[in-house]
């Protein structure tokens, strides 16, 4: 229940419905997820392998792809490879990673490949629905665990002004990440820090961008220690 | 030892000068090793009978380790350690070795351990000794036969062949090879050197024997020709040898994979399948099913994603263990996120206990998933335990309820930390903080 919290209100949801492609190699999981998703989410395609996924995504051009981290086929790169194969569509299509794995290598690899967020497969349908709308709206979706990975990778000391801005999190971003890691929803984070939800979302997106773009020494080292590179 | 002396089976001992035949024989017969050795040497002069006998035993009698391995399926007997005691440090010796020459019943022939360390101490000296011995034998033979002058031309090469072969074969001996693997590269180079020397001796001996003349000129020519032939043979056979080697490697890798798969299958069987069976039997009880599934998930996750490089028993492990315990106890999920880690101290122990109490409360009263966040750095360790229950007012908790006041707040204060409890309608968060100052005091 706590894995991912949304704003909880319908205000965050765009008026139009969202077109979604589900990529997962387990047919049972796909059908279960489809049944769990909100009625305003239209599943326009399904895929079970890397090749199928790239083809379906190119054909359907969905708003959001729910992407399993581990997939058969392709060169063995799983979800990461699907994102790489759909690179030209990244501006219009957003990827939300789904995984049963909490392993840092799986999560960070898909995020760095371009996914806009990550949720575990054990979360409820309502939570995934919320995450889909959030990602479709251009925001990032952070679970407490992903926030923990970020804090682990970037360190918990705030950035100096002299630092390369990609290399460290600002004091405010750190605060936001810490609260998310503690299980706070975006709304609760906003309340705790006396800022608007929009500002929280901005901070989270900035962190996501840093996670994707930073080539910082410590991040590389952190990743290498966990055999992510 | 009155009627039938119980004898250890005949096996080549690892207390060796050449191949351990003599000491093995001595052990088997219950004679002193020296007697056997001298007997063997003396017998060698009787038309080479000793040499032939030695060579025959070398080929036919297994080493103690081989024999032990061959008989591993037999019930262990107290005899094997006696035979292979000198090697007991490197090999496990279960099973009773049975010599090719037939074995006596296992008994109490536990002779005291052979002077292993002495032999070890002069490992190279042994080789020199062997070389000298061979030279001596050759010299004596030459002297004996010099007057007749019949086969000087064949005896020297024959001696060379024998000596070279024994030097080279020693490399092949199982125990020695196993030892070589453990030792340094220098020793391995030495092994190759000995092999090459043995080979050279044999080749030279064979050449001289075949060419049948003492003329250096002819010998050189023949040597050149034979080296050329050998080179050609190597050239032709090398691809085969390489292929064979690669096949062997592939097979070995395959076997390792097979073992790994078997281990995984065993683990899945022991844990996952059992749990699935349990879940099916308890399908009616939702609470039980969730609890079982969570526990199994946790176990499997721990097994799959375990970070082997990390030290265990650190603060984060303890917090995760406490969370698992609470999850098992009350059935609600407890999600733990950790950043950084710290070694356990007495104060950290208190921190773990306080967190456990807080998790129990959160799970019991919150009723849903509990979020736990641990952040440990050099300066301090902080733990946040959050639930989404209805919340409570600390002031309203009866003073005789010690859970919160004593186990959490009091405990943290006693160990130099602090605890804060923040409760709203959206849930409760317990914040525990432990500065590292106490550790710093303990360190210098």
- Supply the DSSP string of B65-131, one letter for each residue: HHHHHHTTTSPP-THHHHHHGGGTTTS---S----TT--PPP----PPPP-HHHHHHTHHHHHHHHH
What would the mean pLDDT of B246-254 be, rounded to a whole number? 91
Q: Which domain-ending residue is among B176, B191, B216?
A: B216
Residues B425 and B380 both lie in one domain? yes
* CB < 8 Å to B373, chain A: 144, 148, 178, 181-183
* B31, pLDDT greater than 60: yes
In a domain, B13, yes or no: no
CATH number at residue A159: 1.10.10.10
Q: What is the mean pLDDT of chain B?
A: 72
Residue in A206, A205, A225, A209 with CA at minimum distance from that of residue A217: A225
What would the mean pLDDT of B244-271 be, rounded to a whole number? 86
CATH number at residue A111: 3.40.50.2300
* B221, pLDDT greater than 70: yes
* CB < 8 Å to A144, chain B: 335, 337, 371, 373
* B198, pLDDT greater than 60: yes
In a domain, A3, yes or no: no
How far is it, in rounded angstroms, from Cα A79 to Cα A58?
Answer: 15
Q: Which domain-ending residue is among A92, A125, A141?
A: A141
Residues B184-193: tens digit of each pLDDT: 444 556 667 7
Residues A96 and A74 both lie in one domain? yes
Q: Does B296 touch chain A (CB under 8 A)?
A: no
Residues B376-389: tens digit of each pLDDT: 887 788 999 988 87
* CB < 8 Å to B304, chain A: 103
Residues B170 and B60 both lie in one domain? yes
**Å between B18 CA and nearest CA of chain A:** 50
Residues B202 and B245 both lie in one domain? no
How far is it, in rounded angstroms, from Cα A182 to Cα A179?
Answer: 5
Residues A99 and A167 both lie in one domain? no
- Tell me whether residues B339 and A188 touch, CB distance under 8 A: no
- pLDDT computed for residue B421 by the predictor: 86
**Out of B35-44, B47-56, B234-243, least confident range:** B47-56
Scanning every residue of chain B, which has its alpha carbon at the shortest distance from the alpha carbon of A104? B305
- pLDDT computed for residue B301 by the predictor: 78
**Å between A53 CA and nearest CA of chain B:** 27
In a domain, A10, yes or no: no
Q: Is the model more confident about B43 or about A15?
A: B43
Nearest by CB to B337, from A1, A148, A156: name it: A148
- pLDDT computed for residue A160 by the predictor: 59
Strands B334-339 and A41-47 turn out to be unpaired
What would the mean pLDDT of B405-432 be, rounded to a whole number? 84
Interface of A with B (CB under 8 A): 1-3, 101-103, 144-145, 147-148, 151-152, 156, 178, 181-184, 188, 225-226
| DSSP, residue by residue, B25-71 | HHHHHT--HHHHHHHHHHHHHTTTHHHHHHHHHHHHSPBHHHHHHHT
Q: Which domain-ending residue is among A141, A175, A193?
A: A141
Query: How confident is residue B393, by pLDDT bands cut at 50, 70 and 90?
Result: low
Residues A103 and A213 both lie in one domain? no
How far is it, in rounded angstroms, from Cα B191 to Cα B168?
Answer: 9
Residues B343 and B260 both lie in one domain? no
Q: Find residues 304-323 of chain B whose CB sits inside 8 Å of chain A.
A: 304-305, 307, 309
Q: Which domain-ending residue is among B165, B186, B216?
A: B216
Residues A43 and A102 both lie in one domain? yes
In a domain, B15, yes or no: no
What would the mean pLDDT of B355-363 be, rounded to a whole number? 88
Residues B378 and B340 both lie in one domain? yes
Question: Percentage of chain B with pLDDT > 90?
Answer: 3
Q: Which domain-ending residue is among A141, A157, A184?
A: A141
How far is it, in rounded angstroms, from Cα B355 to Cα B321?
Answer: 11
* B177, pLDDT greater than 70: no
- Tell me whether residues A3 and B335 touch, CB distance under 8 A: yes
**Å between A22 CA and nearest CA of chain B:** 24
- Tell me whether residues A184 and B386 touch, CB distance under 8 A: yes
Domain count, chain B: 3
- pLDDT computed for residue B372 by the predictor: 92
* CB < 8 Å to A3, chain B: 335, 369
In a domain, B10, yes or no: no
Nearest by CB to A182, from B333, B340, B371: name it: B371
Q: Indicate the DSSP class of residue A131.
A: H
User: Which whole-number Å values give the CA distances from A66 to A45, A82, A105, A127, in the listed order?
Assistant: 11, 11, 19, 13
Query: B424 by DSSP, 3-state: which?
Result: strand
Rounded to two decimals, the ipTM of the complex is 0.78
Q: Which domain-ending residue is among B160, B181, B216?
A: B216
In a domain, B1, yes or no: no
Residues B91 and B124 both lie in one domain? yes
**Å between B337 CA and nearest CA of chain A:** 6
Residues B85-104: tens digit of each pLDDT: 343 333 333 433 433 333 33
In a domain, B11, yes or no: no
In a domain, A41, yes or no: yes
**Out of A219-228, B224-233, B237-246, least confident range:** A219-228
- Tell me whether residues B305 and A103 touch, CB distance under 8 A: yes
**Å between A182 CA and nearest CA of chain B:** 5
In a domain, B222, yes or no: yes
In a domain, A184, yes or no: yes
Residues B33 and B180 both lie in one domain? yes
* B443, pLDDT greater than 60: no
What would the mean pLDDT of B206-214 be, rounded to a whole number? 66
Residues A26 and A128 both lie in one domain? yes
In a domain, A1, yes or no: no
Q: Is the model more confident about B63 or about B33?
A: B33
Name the token pair of B192.
């190759």
In a domain, B140, yes or no: yes
* B126, pLDDT greater than 70: no
- Tell me whether residues B373 and A226 touch, CB distance under 8 A: no
Domain that holds residue B35: 21-216
- Tell me whether residues A178 and B375 touch, CB distance under 8 A: yes
Strands B418-424 and B380-387 turn out to be unpaired
- pLDDT computed for residue A2 by the predictor: 41
Residues B146 and B64 both lie in one domain? yes
pLDDT in tens, chain A (229 residues): 444 444 444 444 555 688 999 998 888 888 888 888 888 888 898 888 888 888 998 888 899 999 888 888 777 777 888 888 887 877 788 899 888 776 777 778 788 888 888 888 877 888 888 889 888 888 888 888 888 888 887 777 766 555 555 667 888 888 899 999 988 888 889 998 999 988 998 898 888 888 887 665 556 666 666 555 4
**Å between B75 CA and nearest CA of chain A:** 46
How many C-alpha atoms does B192 have within 13 Å on its Cβ side? Answer: 6
Domain count, chain A: 2
- pLDDT computed for residue B9 by the predictor: 73
User: Which whole-number Å values give the CA distances from B361 to A82, B199, B332, in the listed order?
Assistant: 44, 79, 11
Domain that holds residue A186: 145-225
User: Which whole-number Å values give the CA distances from A112 to A84, A115, A208, B102, in the listed order?
Assistant: 11, 7, 9, 69
Residues A90 and A183 both lie in one domain? no
Q: Does B340 touch chain A (CB under 8 A)?
A: yes
Residues A155 and A207 both lie in one domain? yes
């Amino acid at each position: 229940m706590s894995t991912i919290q949304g704003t909880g209100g319908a205000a965050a949801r765009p008026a139009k419905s969202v077109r979604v492609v589900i990529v997962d190699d387990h047919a049972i999981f796909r059908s279960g997820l489809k049944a769990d998703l909100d009625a305003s989410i239209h599943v326009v395609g399904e895929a079970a392998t890397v090749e199928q996924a790239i083809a379906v995504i190119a054909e359907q051009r969905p708003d959001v792809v729910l992407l399993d981290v581990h997939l058969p086929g392709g060169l063995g790169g799983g979800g990461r490879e699907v994102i790489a194969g759909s690179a030209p569509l990244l501006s219009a299509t957003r990827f939300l990673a789904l995984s049963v794995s909490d392993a840092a290598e799986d999560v960070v690899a898909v995020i760095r490949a371009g996914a806009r967020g990550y949720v575990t497969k054990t979360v409820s349908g309502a939570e995934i629905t919320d995450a889909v709308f959030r990602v479709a709206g251009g925001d990032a979706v952070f679970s407490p665990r992903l926030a923990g990975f970020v804090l682990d990778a970037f360190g918990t000391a705030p950035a100096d002004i002299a630092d390369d801005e990609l290399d460290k999190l600002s004091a405010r971003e750190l605060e936001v990440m810490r609260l998310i890691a503690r299980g706070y929803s975006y709304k609760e984070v906003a309340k705790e820090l006396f800022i608007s939800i929009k500002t929280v979302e901005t901070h989270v997106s900035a962190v996501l961008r840093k996670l994707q773009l930073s080539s910082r020494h410590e991040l590389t080292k952190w990743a290498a220690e966990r055999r992510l590179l | 030892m009155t009627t039938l002396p119980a004898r250890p089976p005949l096996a080549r001992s690892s207390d060796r000068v050449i191949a351990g035949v003599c000491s093995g024989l001595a052990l088997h017969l219950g004679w002193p090793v020296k007697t056997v050795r001298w007997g063997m040497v003396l017998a060698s002069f009787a038309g080479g009978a000793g040499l032939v006998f030695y060579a025959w035993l070398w080929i036919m009698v297994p080493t103690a380790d081989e024999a032990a391995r061959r008989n591993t399926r037999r019930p262990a007997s107290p005899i094997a350690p006696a035979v292979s005691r000198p090697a007991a440090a490197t090999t496990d010796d279960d099973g009773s070795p049975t010599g090719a020459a037939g074995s006596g019943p296992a008994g109490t022939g536990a002779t005291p351990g052979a002077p292993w360390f002495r032999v070890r101490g002069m490992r190279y000296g042994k080789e020199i000794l062997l070389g000298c011995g061979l030279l001596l034998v050759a010299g004596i033979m030459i002297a004996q036969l010099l007057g007749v002058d019949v086969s000087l031309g064949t005896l020297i090469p024959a001696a060379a062949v024998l000596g070279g072969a024994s030097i080279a074969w020693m490399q092949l001996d199982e125990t020695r090879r196993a030892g070589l693997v453990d030792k340094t590269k220098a020793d391995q180079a030495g092994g190759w050197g000995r092999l090459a020397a043995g080979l050279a001796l044999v080749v030279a001996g064979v050449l001289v024997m075949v060419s049948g003349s003492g003329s250096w000129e002819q010998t050189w020519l023949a040597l050149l020709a034979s080296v050329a032939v050998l080179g050609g043979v190597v050239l032709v056979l090398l691809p085969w040898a390489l292929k064979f080697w690669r096949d062997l490697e592939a097979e070995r890798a395959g076997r390792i994979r097979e073992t790994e798969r078997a281990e995984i299958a065993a683990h899945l069987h022991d844990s996952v399948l059992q749990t699935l069976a349990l879940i099916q039997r308890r399908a009616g009880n939702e609470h039980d099913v969730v609890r079982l599934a969570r526990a199994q998930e946790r176990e499997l996750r721990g097994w799959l994603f375990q970070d082997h490089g990390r030290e265990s028993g650190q603060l984060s492990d303890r917090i995760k263990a406490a969370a698992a315990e609470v999850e098992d106890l009350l059935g609600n999920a407890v999600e733990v996120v950790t950043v950084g880690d710290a070694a356990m101290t007495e104060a950290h122990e208190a921190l773990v206990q306080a967190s456990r109490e807080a998790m129990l409360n959160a799970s019991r009263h919150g009723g849903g998933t509990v979020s736990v966040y641990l952040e440990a750095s050099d300066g301090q360790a902080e733990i946040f335990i959050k639930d989404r229950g209805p919340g409570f007012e600390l002031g309203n908790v009866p003073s005789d309820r010690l859970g919160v006041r004593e186990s959490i707040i009091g405990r943290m204060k006693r160990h130099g930390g602090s605890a804060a409890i923040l409760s709203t309608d959206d849930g409760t968060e317990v914040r525990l903080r432990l500065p590292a100052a106490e550790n710093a005091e303990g360190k210098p």
